[in-house]
A and B are shown apart, each in its own frame.
Chain A
Amino acid sequence: MIVYVLCFALFLVGTYGVIVKRDLVKIILSMGIQGYAVNLMIVLFGYRNGAIYPILAKGKDPVMMVDPLPQALVLTSIVIELGTTALIVALAIKIFEKYHTFDITKIRRLSG
Chain B
Amino acid sequence: MQPNEGMTVIVKTITRISVWIILLYGIYIVFHGHLSPGGGFGGGVIIALAFLNVMLAYGRKFTNNWLNISFLQDVEASSALMFVVLGILGISLGGSFLANFIYKGKLFDLISSGTILPLNIIIGIKVGMSLFLVVWALAATNPEKGD
Chain A residues engaging chain B, CB cutoff 8 angstroms: 55, 57-58, 75, 79, 86, 89-90, 93-94, 96-97
Q: Classify the secondary structure of B's interface with A.
A: loop
Task: Enumerate chain A residues within 8 angstroms of B138, measured Cβ to Cβ.
Answer: 89-90, 93
Q: Smallest CB-CB separation from A57: which chain B residue?
A: B108
Cβ-defined contact, A55 with B134, below 8 A? no
Which residues of B132-147 have CB atoms within 8 Å of chain A's CB atoms? 134, 137-138, 141, 143, 146-147
Q: In the complex, what's the smallest C-beta–C-beta distance from A76 to chain B, in angstroms?
A: 9
Cβ-defined contact, B108 with A58, below 8 A? yes
Q: Which of A58, A79, A96 contacts B41 (CB 8 A)?
A: A79
Q: Residues of B within 8 Å of A, CB-based: how many? A: 11
Given A55-B37, A58-B108, A79-B41, A96 contacting B134 (CB threshold 8 A): no
Chain B residues engaging chain A, CB cutoff 8 angstroms: 36-37, 41, 108, 134, 137-138, 141, 143, 146-147
Q: Classify the secondary structure of A's interface with B.
A: helix
